Structure 1
Amino acid sequence: MKELTNISPSELREHIRTGGFTGNTSGFAPGFVQCNLVILPSKWAADFLRFCQANPKPCPLIACSATPGDPGLATLGDIDIRRDIPSYRIFRDGVLAEERSDIVELWNDDLMTFALGCSFSFEEALIGAGLDVRNITEGVNVPMYRTNIPCESAGPFSGNMVVSMRPFSPANAIRAIQICSRFPAVHGAPVHIGDPAAIGIADINTPDYGDAVSILDGEIPLYWACGVTPQVALENAAPPLAITHTPGCMLVTDKRNSELAVF
């Protein structure tokens, strides 16, 4: 899929719609915002919105449905949320039931979509500063871990934060923190640095989602709040139906990363 790396977001979404692209989207369509996805029945939407507002680090809201049943997200491009993500997760009563390449058969007029910021967006700025983003260099999905960091609850939605990890030398870690602090809409600065056990990670080489990456001698792991966090909250809230992205398989939008930067 390397030949697709630099195509436009709309072209990449077309490949996804036709089944020509099914992998993780890290490093693809550089320069454009990628989003995590949560789709819920409308009666659950207000509480989930409050959960996002209470937890802006792991759940930075980029866009949501204008009305129930609308599969578009006009502010993000010509989106068909039923077909524009490489892999979807289907939760029933809080339990992961299956994964699908599209959700056309599951769609109904009561569903609401939430698009949340993703750390893949700030990876462009890190690479542009000459930093080695290890998951990109090694061609794998970023490692993600469940932690013991609690989120603020909202209605039935609660749970601990999920984080993504990228290792850097001490000097580059400082630079990475400075860069990511300019992107609060896509998780901003890390929430933890260093010892994984301090945030409840038993084995840094065995992520809960994504793939392990090399950590070189002298490097420090940096941990960012991750948009997979809502999947933990969905497990606890247990709505009858919830749909998310498969970790690493994001919604690639037409919004530019530069639009989210704060200087």
Structure 2
Amino acid sequence: MNENITPLELRQKIRAGKFKENTSGLCHGFVQCNLVMLPKDWADDFLKFCELNDKPCPLIAVSNSPGDTFLEGIAEDLDLRTDIPSYRIFKDGLLTEEVNDITDYWRDDLVTFALGCSFSFEESLIADGLDVRNISESVNVPMYRTDIDCTPVGPFKGKMVVSMRPFDAKDTIRAIQICTGFPSVHGAPIHFGDPKLIGISDIEKPDFGDRVTIKENEHPVFWACGVTPQVALEQARPPFCITHSPGCMLVTDLTNSSLAE
């Protein structure tokens, strides 16, 4: 896949069934989003959950009305039912299916939430000369469940999920400086060093995504991750919910620079 493909071109390829992979490293300069689609009766509590847990759940956009198959102002010719490479279907909190098109699952009471994704700040790290290992090794970023509690709201609660990129000490400091300027896409790392201090027992076995090489002079650096809402959904057990598959994002027409402070 051409890394310089435009977001619209990529969404059209996805809609046509010609791209079904993770979107990391694609469409340089543009914001990628995690997705959560919930019945209207559950939407208010989830909105409050995102507002109180804005590091792992930074809101970029919300449906204007239940049943909308687009999100106003973030992408041209967007169809939320077809334009993401892979979706997960949850029923009563359990993952039941993973599909590439949710047209047959769509309901008129669904409210869609688009949440900021760490892929957006990876571009700035690379531009500064840092080696973002999941990009250089062409794999999905490794993601881990932690023992860090989210602030609960109604039925929504659970532990934070983090993404990991390894750096040496100098590059860790630079990564913190760069990412602090992107609060809309998770902001600065929440932890670096010993993964056991945040409840990760084996850094070689991510819960989502793929393992990456950690070199001898490097330590793992962890960011709050947009897969966190999926853990909250497991706890809340809504009767029906749709999310993106980890690493398979909604690629928008928003520029990463528009989110920088």
Shorter-chain TM-score: what band? Answer: over 0.9
Give the distance between the partners of 1:202 and 1:80, measured in 2 at CA. Answer: 40
SS at match of 1:76: coil
Q: State percent identity of aligned pairs.
A: 66
In the TM superposition, what are the counterparts of 1:120-131 in structure 2 within 5 Å? 120-131=119-130
Give the distance between the partners of 1:101 and 1:161, measured in 2 at CA. Answer: 26
Match of 1:220 in 2: 219
Give the distance between the partners of 1:108 and 1:228, measured in 2 at CA. Answer: 23
Give the distance between the partners of 2:206 and 2:51, measured in 1 at CA. Answer: 27
Match of 2:18 in 1: 20
Match of 1:90 in 2: 89
Cα displacement (A) at 1:16: 0.5
Give the distance between the partners of 1:176 and 1:111, measured in 2 at CA. Answer: 37
2:136 aligned with 1:137, yes or no?
A: yes
Corresponding residue to 2:39 among 27, 38, 41: 41
Match of 2:248 in 1: 249
User: Which consecutive residues of structure 1, in runs of 5 or more, have no partner in the other structure?
Assistant: none
Cα displacement (A) at 1:211: 0.2
Q: Aligned pairs, how many?
A: 260
Match of 1:68 in 2: 66
Give the distance between the partners of 1:112 and 1:178, measured in 2 at CA. Answer: 35
Cα displacement (A) at 1:109: 1.0
Match of 2:155 in 1: 156
Give the distance between the partners of 1:112 and 1:106, measured in 2 at CA. Answer: 14
Match of 2:53 in 1: 55
Encode CA deviations 1:213-246: one digit per residue, 9 max, x unaligned.
0000110210000000000000010001010000
Ranges of 4+ aligned residues in structure 1 off by more than 4 Å: none
Give the distance between the partners of 1:240 and 1:82, measured in 2 at CA. Answer: 19
Give the distance between the partners of 1:37 and 1:109, measured in 2 at CA. Answer: 17
2:138 maps to a residue whose letter is G
Cα displacement (A) at 1:260: 0.2
Cα displacement (A) at 1:70: 0.5
SS at match of 2:131: coil
1:182 maps to a residue whose letter is G
TM-score by structure 2 length? 0.99
SS at match of 2:73: helix
RMSD: 0.5
Cα displacement (A) at 1:169: 1.0
1:32 maps to a residue whose letter is F
2:231 aligned with 1:232, yes or no?
A: yes
Give the distance between the partners of 1:58 and 1:149, measured in 2 at CA. Answer: 11
Give the distance between the partners of 1:88 and 1:44, measured in 2 at CA. Answer: 19
Give the distance between the partners of 1:149 and 1:34, measured in 2 at CA. Answer: 25
Give the distance between the partners of 1:199 and 1:128, measured in 2 at CA. Answer: 29
Encode CA deviations 1:62-107: one digit per residue, 9 max, x unaligned.
0010000001112211221111100000000000001010100111
The answer to which of 71-80 and 225-234 deviates more is 71-80
Give the distance between the partners of 1:221 and 1:237, measured in 2 at CA. Answer: 30
User: Which consecutive residues of structure 2, in runs of 5 or more, have no partner in the other structure?
Assistant: none
Cα displacement (A) at 1:158: 0.2
Cα displacement (A) at 1:30: 0.7
Cα displacement (A) at 1:108: 1.6
TM-score by structure 1 length? 0.98
